[in-house]
Every structure is written in C-alpha cells, then in structure tokens.
Structure 1
C-alpha cells in the first residue's frame, strides 16, 4: 500500500486466489463431541507445548468499504520459544504471505513485496490486509488453553463450547481425540476498521 494505501488496495487481489477450493474442506461435518468423561480426562492431561508445528485450513470473513469480503486458503503455523512463524497459502499451495512475530516485533511479507515491520501485529495486518489475526491469543487457543477474566490460562474441555477472551468470541466446535487438541475453532469480533470479522480455523495436522 503512498505505501499504506497501495497495499490496502492490493490486498484483495493478492488473496483473490484463496476464494476457491480452500473453503470446501471447512464445511465438512465435524465429528461428534467426546463424552463428558473422556473430555474431562483428556483436558486434565493436555500439556502446553512451547514448540509445535500446525497446518490446516483458514477462512476469513470481514468488511471493506461496507462490502463483505472473504478469503480462504491454508496455513502453516510454527512456534517455539523464540517466536511464531505463519505462512498463508493459496489453494494451490503457493505462499502468498509470511508473518513472523518475535521479541523484536512483527514482520509481514507479501509475495513479491518488501517486508513490512511493526511493533503491533494486529495494526500491521489491519493496515495491510484489511483484517486482523489474534496471533498472540492463538498461541494458547490452538492448544486448547484460554485466559478468561484475567485469570491464568486454563485448559479447555474437549467439547463443543463457546468462550469470550481478549475481545474475541471463541467457539471450540470440534476436537481431535488422540491426542486431544482442537480441530476447529471459530473466532468472531467486531472491529471499527473491518466490521464483523469471522475466522474459521481447521487444524489438519499437528507435529
């Protein structure tokens, strides 16, 4: 985007290829939730992992210029003690954006463009792509840990439930059973810049 304006106008075109086959897998019927006894046991034994690799599908709905926008594709998430690295890919597995978050700040790389850096990732994504991604929260949420009302992060039971944290409404719609970790998470919040933002994340692989 001068530079911010050009990038904001360019963002829909960069992600237009994400509007086709990626969304199909997001609509598959979720498996039946685990029983209460199973979900309680699996939640109590779930351990937070500092180093993980996750891949799956992502769907983002938001507004731009009072018009609904949608972007669909796949993602690769890698985190360790030093930071988080995210790749956003087209349905053809072409990397269209790279996000890096560490102690020095956040960096966004769009395919064929110079990297952009900022201390606030949400602001960087909002200015560049038109929507925000709560990466700091997802570091816990993707593993089934949520902080509510300022309390220490607690383990989420492996069942269909909705929670509110950090301004986002989270729905844990389905879970992988062995080992127990979230399979589908729906996120929703209202923003002044992008209206109602809805994000659906489906985790296909966990390493």
Structure 2
C-alpha cells in the first residue's frame, strides 16, 4: 500500500472521527425583531394550487413595500418583465396589469388577486409573515425563531420558516413555506417565499 493511499485513509478516518464527535448546535432560540409597520424587501414567490381539479403553478419575482397605511407589491415574470402592480389601502385594492388593460379595483385584495391572477395573494398576512410574525389559530400573536419555526394562523395557513438570512441578529426570515387547504374553486394552495432583500 502506497504512502499516498495510507495518507488518504488516515485523512478520511480523521474526518469521520471528527464528524462523529462534533456536537450538533441546537437551533437558536433568538426571536425575530418586533413587527414593524414599514418594510421593503424583494424576493421570489412560487405558488402551487389545484383549481377545478387541475394543478396550476406560477413563479414570480416581487418587490414589496409597506407602511402603516398601505402596501405596494410589484410582480415580475422570471425574465424581469412586470406582470402586475398591486396597491392596497384602507379604501380598497387596485391591481394594474401590463399593456393597455384598465386597472381592476375591489374592496379586498384576496378577491381581486384571485380574479386577476387565478390565486389569492394573502397580503394582510404577508405584512407580518415576511418579518416572522403571525396571529396564531388561538388568536394570540406569534413570533418566529429558528427553534420555533412553525405555526397555523387564524386564517388556516400553516407557516414553516425553513431558512434564515445569514449573519443576521436578530434572525430574519429567508425561506417561508405556507400551505392552505383552500376553498371554493381553489384547493391545496402552497406558497414558497424566498426573501432576497
């Protein structure tokens, strides 16, 4: 057996022994920062759902801005072309699409986005979810941490925070999976939200 082969075996053994004896680090119990009315983030959103028995899916990039009174969401296709612009205020919701299409308005963004996009964008929930906050099924406020990363909301969404922004203290969400059983024409809705900031 050559010296190189022996060295390789010894190196592999050291690595394996090191792996076997290295203690695993428990997930951080640090909680996300308090909810803020103002937020600006970008990212990617994948939605999967079943509508009238047929599986559907869509992927968009988004720019999200909110303050205490309003939310502005710009949606782009994977190539960077703007698909829609959504504005939500206490007076109602407006959705503007590309081309010469007239803007659509409605009292509720959920109904408006379902009509225009085929799926309901849960804007009210996302204002908190993007920061790691939600209202739990029991009506109590909930805040995420790497050690406490799952909750079912009052509206029936199951949220799971599966990844976090690197070197962030307090922790900030990077990847959120959200699932809802749906209702009406849309069933088994699933969102995957990747926040790139």
Q: Please confirm whether the aligned pair reaches a TM-score higher than 0.5, indicating the same fold.
A: yes
Question: Using the alignment, how far apart are the partners of 2:138 and 2:70 within structure 1?
Answer: 23
Per the alignment, residue 171 of structure 1 pairs with 160
Per the alignment, residue 204 of structure 1 pairs with 196
SS of the equivalent of 1:81 reads coil
Q: Which has the higher helix share?
A: 1
Is 1:110 the counterpart of 2:101 in the alignment?
A: no
SS of the equivalent of 1:40 reads coil
Per the alignment, residue 6 of structure 1 pairs with none
Per the alignment, residue 42 of structure 2 pairs with 55
After the TM superposition, which segments of 4 or more aligned residues of structure 1 sit over 3 Å from their partners?
149-152
Aligned residues: 168
Aligned CA distance change for structure 1 residues 151 and 184 (closer, same or farther; 3 Å): same
Shift of 1:52: 1.3
Per the alignment, residue 6 of structure 2 pairs with none
Shift of 1:160: 6.8
Is 1:99 the counterpart of 2:89 in the alignment?
A: no
1:143 to 131, 150, 162: 131
Shift of 1:162: 2.3
TM-score by length of 1: 0.75
Which ranges in structure 1 are unaligned for 5 or more consecutive residues? 1-33
Per the alignment, residue 175 of structure 2 pairs with 184
Per the alignment, residue 128 of structure 1 pairs with 116
Which ranges in structure 2 are unaligned for 5 or more consecutive residues? 1-24
Question: Using the alignment, how far apart are the partners of 1:152 and 1:65 within structure 2?
Answer: 34
| C-alpha RMSD over aligned residues | 1.8
Q: Rg larger in 1 or in 2?
A: 2
Please tell me whether the aligned partners of residues 113 and 120 of structure 2 are also in contact (alpha carbons under 8 angstroms). yes
TM-score by length of 2: 0.79
Please tell me whether the aligned partners of residues 75 and 83 of structure 2 are also in contact (alpha carbons under 8 angstroms). yes
Please tell me whether the aligned partners of residues 48 and 189 of structure 2 are also in contact (alpha carbons under 8 angstroms). yes
